[in-house]
Chains A and B, each alone.
Chain A
Amino acid sequence: MLMWLRWSWRDLRARFVQVAAIAGIAALGTGVYAGLSSTSGWRRASYDASYSALGAHDLRVTLASDTFTPPARLKQALAGIDGVAAVETRLVVPTSVDASHNGRTILVAGRLVGLDLSGGGPRIDTLHAVHGRTLQSADAGSARLVLDDHFAHHYRLPTSGAVTLSGSRHVSYVGQVLSPEYFTVMGSEGTMHAEASFAVLFGSLDTVQRLTRHPGLVNDAVVRLTAGGTPAERRAAARRVETALRTRLPRTAVTVAAIDDDRAYRMLYDDIQGDQRLYAIFAFLILGGAAFAAFNLIGRVVEAQRREIGIGMALGVPRVKIALRPALVGFQVAFLGAVLGVAVGFGVSRLMLSVLKSFVPLPVWVTSFQLATYARGWAIGLALPFVATLIPVIRAVRVEPVDAIRTGPTAVRSSGLAPLFARLTRGNSIRQMPIRNVLRAPRRALLTTLAIAAATATMVGVIGIVDSFLATIDKGESAIIGNRPDRLTIALNGFAVRGSPQLRAVTTAPGVQRAEPGLQVGGTLRSGTHSLDTLITLVDYRSPMWRPGTLSGHLIAGRPGIVIAEKAAHDLHVHTGDTIWVRHPLRQGLGYKLVESKLEVQAIHDIPYRFIAFMDIRTAGLMNLDGVYNTVAVAPKPGTTMTQLQRTLFAVPSVGSVQPVLSFAQTIRDMVNQVLGIMRVVEGAVLLLALLIAFNSSAISVDERSREHATMFAFGIPLRTVLGNTVLESIIVGSLGTALGIGVGYGIVQYITQILLPGTLPDVSIHAAISATTLVTAATLGVVAVSVAPLFTARRMRGMNIPATLRVVE
């Protein structure tokens, strides 16, 4: 056994460059899998630890929009409900935030959260200071607030400073904090990572009540349960509490949700699963490339040992023993790759950690070594290339000894598929060689093609997903902008009736050319057992400024009906003309209750976000909100800039927030840019993989063709011509591999966008798209990089011992 092992070491040493290249490829596959997958374990453990460290709520009680109640009443209503252990009431109010800093205008939508600081509170959903300090009991009633760290970090705001809230209310902040509810900032439209356009400020309850002119009132409560161990238990408790509150607060519309149904919480955890599937796809593609490359190398080793294998068989050595030597080579290459993979995985995971920490800053990060993940990656990284090497080994030992030993004319290598095309290609014999060489060894060419295809497919898959996101954003942006990109959307502080001073203050503000009041309410769409959350915007279907575009159906002004997204129609299994149940608020006296109405799907709009739905403003009577508005769309007069108008409206007391219509698209764009960080890590690995595969296949090719090259040199053909032929051969294989890789890559993007993403990003309708830039990058990588690789062998060719290679030396 020791002899076979030593012999295999000599084989490895003889091809150490190729061995290193394949081990590197296998290491990349193993490392990318282990490194990326480790982050899944880290993320899950870190989320759990962070939610626990900050005492995240079990249930959240939210009063309907514009509905408030004294804290004692809400506490009293919740007290004594079975399972409720602790309650803290809060006031959560939308606002606009002017955080302009160092000459940069920063005007964003935001939220003011008033917390009960009495007795060292809050004790549920506590705050973690990242910079500066958190709130203290002494801050109660003062104008001192703390700022959500995501927003502050995004705009590089100082640790403490001042901001202006809507209604020109100036406040100071003394620190930047993290809160469990905002581990990822959700925009008002339901998008993750919305810190670029959404600021959250925390203050004492008294302070926020005073700032928002809601003295002695709250509209929100967080609840801790006595026993809330599992999501099912928490959801059951939420239903129980909601039922109880309907009885105890009959005139107040209240929703109770378990933390598991909190959008940010759910998306953070769901994201892990979705990302893990992506990591597995990328890692297996890379490992696939490694397997093909290993197959090529061992095929070459076996070919070189053909006579020795024959001699061994002629001497009666059992086939299993003969197979041991090349099999040991394959195993050791795979083993080396897997060992190096641990180091690569460690590097990848460190890179990912820095991306994740900026992506989702958490108070606690648990980054322990994920032994099980590494062991799994190691086993796959070892098994896949090793199994690939066994195929040529088995083929080699099945040859008859007499055939293996044979030398001379009958041992001339086969012409492969070259005869099939011999009559199609004519002309200079030297120029024929590249295509003939590809055809002559179809299996090797196919394996190299597949290896390059695997690398290209991974790259197209990675970048194609980003392309698809960006194409979706562009589509959404174009649909939302319409022909008035300078529109601003105003969220009022509360409901305002037609002709009221609050509304007039907006519509007649200086710089406003046109103003269209609207209404925005949350709701649920349901068809059979399928339901989904929605944000219904009631707009004027006859508006000359903007109205939704449609993919099918028509906007019918004045007739009750709803216009939903293509993705919503798909998920609800409905079409234009069908009817669905819409759960929406119904004004009743001073409060609201949620009711279900059956509405016709009048049309499918062209905005790719599922949660967006439209109704005509004339049908607001359905909600008993005829003539009542909470949003206004405005267009600036010629000569007035959007920023000027934004500042003017910002100062109007009834205005909650003023956002350019483009800000939503910008939020999604920012989100994608963050995702790009992860993609870049994979992209770097894929680029390296493609180069290694290219180099490896070139090195094997040069090795295999050495006698032919020596013959050409003996006939006086210059190095550049020989090298040119090798490059051309690589271009042919590279082009085939790239074309195949692009096709497979597109399939991967299709699979990810159509199968994986709807699970993790259900609110966005993403269609597979691959940009021209991606195609050019793929072509550059697959063709140019692969073609350039033979040039690295120029030195070796130049130094070739021609007589020895021709075997004319005695």
Chain B
Amino acid sequence: MSVDAEAGRLVSRIELRDVARRYETGGGTVTALAGVTLSVAAGELVVVLGPSGSGKTTLLNLVGALDRPTEGEVVIDGHSLRHASRRELFTYRRETVSFIFQTFNLFPGLTAFENVRFGADVSKRSAPAEIAREMLDHVGLAERMHHFPKMLSGGEQQRVAIARALATGNPILLADEPTGELDFRTGTQILGLLREQAEAGRTVVIVTHNREISRIADRTLELSSGRVISDTVPPAGPAAVTDLHW
């Protein structure tokens, strides 16, 4: 992670160098990713497309240091994660990446406010309560901050999850099927928020099987059977979230 001196914004560049991930199963070896090489520039919003089993979530897990590659290396801002210790990986997750999960994974015992504050607390940011309030306000849930997850709709829960990820202040946002559980209207709200983050300088990687979502990306990577089969940049630039249909 570094700071762009000119823009004064947090930036982080992601590189995957000939990364492979294989799993040993009872029936033999399963290759989830094979020889993937790519890079994501700081402040870029990249959508990773692919059908089920194509390896897109594995890719996200490797970037998020939830998993280690069998071959190759993941490099963040020029620092390889290959030889990072367990402690260093925990620190990396705490200070560099933030996850947004398809199933939200909010803490049911904490209120929306506390779930968001969790993000700020994890990163040991000063004035976590203020940050949490600000983030909830930003995702339009200021009125619902004392509600528990069970009392919130799916869209609201995902917005809380995004606010929690934002509250960490980390430069990389990793979103795994962030709209998978949501209706169209709520889904586009969420995508709007993610687009905003990229524009604010965060590196955003969204994994989805919904091709329509790729229209808002700066770049689209398509995976199939663990390999990158296309890497495209929309010629007319990213579409507005309001233009999406599905």
Chain A residues with CB under 8 Å of chain B are 407-410, 412-416, 418-419, 422-423, 428-430, 432-433, 436-437, 439-440, 707-708, 710-711, 713-718, 802-803, 806-810
- The answer to whether B94 and A717 have CB atoms under 8 Å apart is yes
| Interface presence of B43 (CB below 8 A) | no
B-side interface size class: 35 or more
Within 8 A of A (CB), among B17-57: 52-54, 56-57
- Which one of A415, A428, A439, A807 has the greatest number of beta carbons of chain B within 10 Å? A415
A410–B104 Cα gap in the complex (Å)?
12
- The answer to whether B108 and A440 have CB atoms under 8 Å apart is yes
- Which one of A423, A710, A802 has the greatest number of beta carbons of chain B within 10 Å? A802
Q: Which of B1-9, B148-156, B196-204, B238-246 forms contacts with chain A?
A: B148-156
The contact of A408 among B64, B111, B122, B154, by CB within 8 Å, is B154
- The answer to whether A409 and B153 have CB atoms under 8 Å apart is yes
- The answer to whether A412 and B118 have CB atoms under 8 Å apart is no
- The answer to whether B153 and A808 have CB atoms under 8 Å apart is no
**20 A-B interface contacts by CB (under 8 A):** A408-B154, A409-B104, A409-B157, A409-B158, A412-B150, A413-B108, A414-B150, A422-B111, A423-B146, A429-B115, A432-B109, A436-B109, A440-B108, A713-B90, A714-B64, A715-B93, A715-B119, A715-B122, A803-B57, A810-B57
- Which one of A409, A418, A708 has the greatest number of beta carbons of chain B within 10 Å? A409
- The answer to whether B92 and A409 have CB atoms under 8 Å apart is no
Q: Which of B76-84, B95-103, B187-195, B229-237 forms contacts with chain A?
A: B95-103
A707–B115 Cα gap in the complex (Å)?
15
Residues of A within 8 A of B134 (CB): none
- The answer to whether A716 and B110 have CB atoms under 8 Å apart is no
- Nearest residue in A to B55 (C-beta to C-beta)? A810
Query: Would you list the 10 A-B pairs with minimal beta carbon distance, nearest first?
Result: A716-B94, A409-B154, A436-B109, A716-B93, A415-B148, A440-B109, A429-B118, A711-B105, A408-B181, A429-B114
Residues of B within 8 A of A807 (CB): 102-103
Residues of A within 8 A of B54 (CB): 810
CB-CB under 8 A for A716 and B90, given A413-B150, A415-B148, A707-B105: yes
Residues of B within 8 A of A423 (CB): 146
A714–B61 Cα gap in the complex (Å)?
10
- The answer to whether B154 and A433 have CB atoms under 8 Å apart is no
A412–B150 Cα gap in the complex (Å)?
6
The contact of B118 among A407, A430, A713, A810, by CB within 8 Å, is A430
A710–B99 Cα gap in the complex (Å)?
12
A415–B106 Cα gap in the complex (Å)?
11
- The answer to whether A428 and B150 have CB atoms under 8 Å apart is no
Residues of A within 8 A of B104 (CB): 409, 412
Smallest CB separation, B110 vs chain A (Å): 6
- The answer to whether A430 and B121 have CB atoms under 8 Å apart is yes
A715–B90 Cα gap in the complex (Å)?
8
A440–B117 Cα gap in the complex (Å)?
19
Question: What 7 additional pairs, Cβ within 8 angstroms, besides A409-B181, A412-B108, A429-B115?
Answer: A409-B152, A415-B151, A416-B109, A708-B107, A711-B101, A810-B53, A810-B54
- Nearest residue in A to B56 (C-beta to C-beta)? A810
- The answer to whether A808 and B61 have CB atoms under 8 Å apart is yes
- Nearest residue in B to A436 (C-beta to C-beta)? B109
CB-CB under 8 A for A810 and B101, given A436-B109, A803-B67: no
How does the 8 Å CB contact mask read for B60-91 relative to A, with 1 for contact and 0 for none?
11001011000000000000000000010011
Residues of B within 8 A of A412 (CB): 104, 106, 108, 149-150, 157
- The answer to whether A422 and B146 have CB atoms under 8 Å apart is yes
| Interface presence of B218 (CB below 8 A) | no
A418–B147 Cα gap in the complex (Å)?
11
A423–B146 Cα gap in the complex (Å)?
9
A717–B94 Cα gap in the complex (Å)?
7
- The answer to whether B52 and A810 have CB atoms under 8 Å apart is yes
Smallest CB separation, B90 vs chain A (Å): 5
A464–B157 Cα gap in the complex (Å)?
52
Residues of A within 8 A of B153 (CB): 409
Smallest CB separation, B107 vs chain A (Å): 6
- Nearest residue in B to A428 (C-beta to C-beta)? B121
- The answer to whether B93 and A714 have CB atoms under 8 Å apart is yes
- The answer to whether B99 and A415 have CB atoms under 8 Å apart is no
A707–B94 Cα gap in the complex (Å)?
18
Residues of A within 8 A of B90 (CB): 713, 716-718
Smallest CB separation, A434 vs chain B (Å): 9
| Interface presence of B220 (CB below 8 A) | no
A716–B61 Cα gap in the complex (Å)?
13
- The answer to whether B106 and A715 have CB atoms under 8 Å apart is no
Residues of B within 8 A of A408 (CB): 103, 154, 181
The contact of B109 among A415, A428, A803, A806, by CB within 8 Å, is A415
- The answer to whether A715 and B168 have CB atoms under 8 Å apart is yes
A710–B101 Cα gap in the complex (Å)?
12
A715–B92 Cα gap in the complex (Å)?
9
Residues of B within 8 A of A803 (CB): 57, 61, 66-67
- The answer to whether B105 and A806 have CB atoms under 8 Å apart is yes
Residues of B within 8 A of A718 (CB): 87, 90
Residues of A within 8 A of B114 (CB): 429, 432
A715–B96 Cα gap in the complex (Å)?
10
- Which one of B94, B99, B109 has the greatest number of beta carbons of chain A within 10 Å? B109
- The answer to whether A415 and B150 have CB atoms under 8 Å apart is yes
